[in-house]
């Protein structure tokens, strides 16, 4: 793959840890027993994905593979809350699909302008000011902050184009893009002139335009790794319409009908869904066609048999190119919008071993519960969602926590404190 274009990388991202709550007491002259005033820890920074309009490749990620947000600061006395950790903002090109590196499930499709929180920072721990009650006036404890999240993700760039140009190398795809759009790809008379996808905007008429992508030429055996084009077929995954450009003149010494069938076979090898996309066939280099050649009629018959509309063009002289673009615009008007990949990633359940691995401290009527897997479980819970809280309650019962608390003597109405969550215990 050429060094100037990168469209698939794997990176590791980590959100920040929440700061610890502080244990502190109010100290002021002439004020006796000022009471606890330890501040809360700051929240850890988030890892945020942001669309960057001026980026067209994932080149920035080629040598920078690890990204971390800042940790939240610890709380301090005088009820001073720790500062939140700094967010880590990662800018990606529009059209980047974010996947879990292990399961390949889609986490987010960055086609819109809204920011996406990829990893949420850990919540800051409570300071001892929260634990003062009439019967517990000197709480000598605070809560640690929750850990951040580390995950390995794949970034895969899939260009946002309405129309994809496919075909063998040197059939005139780049020339067609040049004469019909505002794009200026490199054009020369040798194979693999196009080393990375090019995009151009086609203006058909007032209020009617579309984006067309020139994909590097595909060759036979591409599905086994030969050539360049197969590496970039992901960029036409979103395309609503294909324009199959065929050298009808046979100037490269190939048969146009065989080329037509060979490219369609490679598309099928890559994706059956892609092979079923609507397709227009453009018989290019018609100006070079020998007078006694039957290539044009044979290719027309093959295209009609495949259910494709057929157009005769010469990109070099622009003959027939306007009619082809008008036909593409008319076809697009009846097709669904550009594909957006729906997120199908499901957060794995936290492995809960046993309540025996939890630490339980008893302070008056307060029961403080801590543990590594409990931190991970709480980090996955939405405290404002009833179903999420119900899920947590079930997991805690399954691990035997409540049974252990009852054996230790917990009473109805006692307070259970799990990091930054508290509830009154009821048998």
Asked if 120 contacts 27 with a C-beta cutoff of 8 angstroms, the reply is no
Q: What is the mean pLDDT of each run of 10 residues along the chain (427 residues)?
A: 67 96 82 78 97 86 93 94 96 94 95 92 91 80 90 91 89 90 55 61 84 75 48 79 94 89 87 89 94 94 96 95 95 89 86 84 86 84 82 88 91 86 84
Provide the residue count of the chain: 427
First CA to last CA distance, the chain = 64
DSSP 150-168: EEEEEEEE----SEEEE-S
d(CA 323, CA 294): 23
CATH class, 1-160 region: mainly beta
pLDDT for position 232: 66
Structure tokens belonging to residue 95: 């059209």
Q: What is the CATH code of the structural domain delimited by 164-333?
A: 3.40.50.300
Count how many Cα atoms sit within 13 Å of the Cα of residue 30 in the half-sphere of its side chain.
Answer: 0
For residue 187, the model assigns a pLDDT of: 46
**Cα distance between residue 356 and residue 382, in whole Å:** 25
Please choose, from the candidates 60, 58, 65, 47, the residue with its C-alpha nearest in 3D space to the C-alpha of residue 115. Answer: 47
Q: Give, in order, the Cα–Cα distances in Å from 224 to each of 5, 221, 228, 334, 407.
A: 21, 5, 11, 35, 64
Q: Which CATH number fits domain 350-427: 3.30.300.350, 3.40.50.1370, 1.25.10.10, 3.40.50.11810?
A: 3.30.300.350
Q: Closest Cα to residue 245, out of 317, 333, 324?
A: 324
> What single DSSP character describes residue 31?
B
Distance between CA atoms of residues 241 and 308, nearest Å: 11
Other CB atoms within 10 A of residue 86 CB: 16
Helix 256-270 vs helix 295-305: crossing angle, to nearest 10: 30
Cα–Cα distances (Å) from 254 to 169, 175, 248, 279, 291, in that order, read 11, 19, 9, 21, 17
Give the global pTM: 0.77
The helix or strand, by DSSP H or E, that contains position 178, with its residue range, turns out to be: helix 173-180
Whether the CB-CB separation of 321 and 350 falls below 8 Å is answered with: no
Question: What pLDDT is recorded for position 222?
Answer: 44
User: Domain-by-domain residue ranges, the chain?
Assistant: 1-160, 164-333, 350-427
For the sheet with 88-93, list strands across it.
88-93, 47-52, 116-119
Question: What integer pLDDT is reported at residue 357 of this predicted model?
Answer: 86
Angle between helices 173-180 and 321-333 (to 10 degrees): 80
Strands laid side by side in the 421-424 sheet: 359-363, 366-370, 415-418, 421-424
Please answer whether residues 71 and 12 qualify as being in contact, where contact means their C-beta atoms are separated by less than 8 angstroms: no
DSSP E strand boundaries for 341-414? 359-363, 366-370
Region of 225 on the Ramachandran plot (φ > 0 left; ψ -120 to 50 alpha; else beta) = left
Quote the CA–CA distance of 251 and 87 in Å, as a whole number: 57
CA distance 348 to 188: 51
Are the beta carbons of 114 and 10 closer than 8 angstroms? no
Question: In terms of Cα–Cα distance, which of 9, 17, 7 is closest to 376?
Answer: 17
């Amino acid at each position: 793959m050429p060094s100037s274009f990168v469209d698939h990388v794997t990176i590791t991202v980590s959100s920040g840890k929440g700061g610890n709550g502080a244990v502190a007491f109010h100290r002021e002259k002439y004020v006796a027993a000022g009471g606890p005033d330890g501040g809360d820890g700051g929240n850890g920074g988030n890892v945020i994905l942001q669309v960057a309009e001026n980026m067209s490749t994932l080149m920035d990620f080629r040598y920078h593979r690890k990204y971390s947000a800042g940790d939240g600061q610890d709380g301090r006395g005088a009820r001073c809350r720790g500062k939140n950790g700094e967010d880590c903002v990662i800018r990606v090109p529009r059209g980047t699909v974010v996947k879990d590196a292990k399961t390949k499930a889609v986490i987010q499709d960055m086609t819109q302008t809204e920011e996406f929180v990829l990893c949420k920072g850990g919540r800051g721990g409570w300071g001892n000011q929260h634990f003062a009650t009439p019967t517990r006036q000197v709480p000598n404890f605070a809560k640690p902050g929750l850990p951040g999240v580390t995950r390995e993700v794949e970034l895969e760039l899939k260009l946002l184009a309405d129309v994809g140009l496919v075909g063998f190398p040197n059939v005139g795809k780049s020339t067609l893009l040049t004469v019909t759009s505002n794009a200026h790809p490199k054009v020369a008379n040798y194979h693999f002139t196009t080393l990375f996808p090019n995009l151009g905007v086609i203006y058909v008429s007032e209020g009617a335009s579309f984006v067309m992508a020139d994909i590097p030429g595909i060759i036979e055996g591409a599905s086994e790794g030969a050539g360049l084009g197969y590496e970039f077929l992901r960029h036409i995954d979103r395309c609503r319409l294909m324009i199959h450009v065929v050298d009808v003149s046979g100037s490269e010494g190939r048969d146009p009908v065989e080329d037509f069938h060979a490219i369609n076979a490679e598309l099928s090898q890559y994706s059956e869904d892609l092979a079923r996309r609507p397709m227009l066939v453009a018989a290019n280099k018609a100006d070079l066609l020998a007078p006694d050649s039957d290539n044009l009629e044979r290719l027309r018959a093959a295209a009609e048999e495949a259910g494709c509309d057929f157009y005769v063009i010469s990109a070099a002289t622009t003959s027939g190119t306007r009619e082809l673009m008008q036909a593409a615009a008319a076809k697009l008007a009846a097709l669904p919008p550009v594909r957006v990949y729906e997120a199908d990633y499901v957060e794995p359940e936290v492995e809960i071993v046993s309540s025996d691995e939890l630490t339980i401290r008893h302070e008056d009527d307060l029961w403080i519960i801590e543990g590594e897997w409990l931190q991970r479980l709480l980090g996955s819970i939405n405290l404002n969602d009833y179903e999420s809280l119900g899920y947590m309650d079930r997991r805690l019962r399954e691990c035997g926590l409540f049974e252990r608390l009852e054996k230790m003597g917990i009473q109805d109405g006692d307070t259970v404190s799990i990091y930054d969550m508290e509830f009154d215990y009821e048998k």
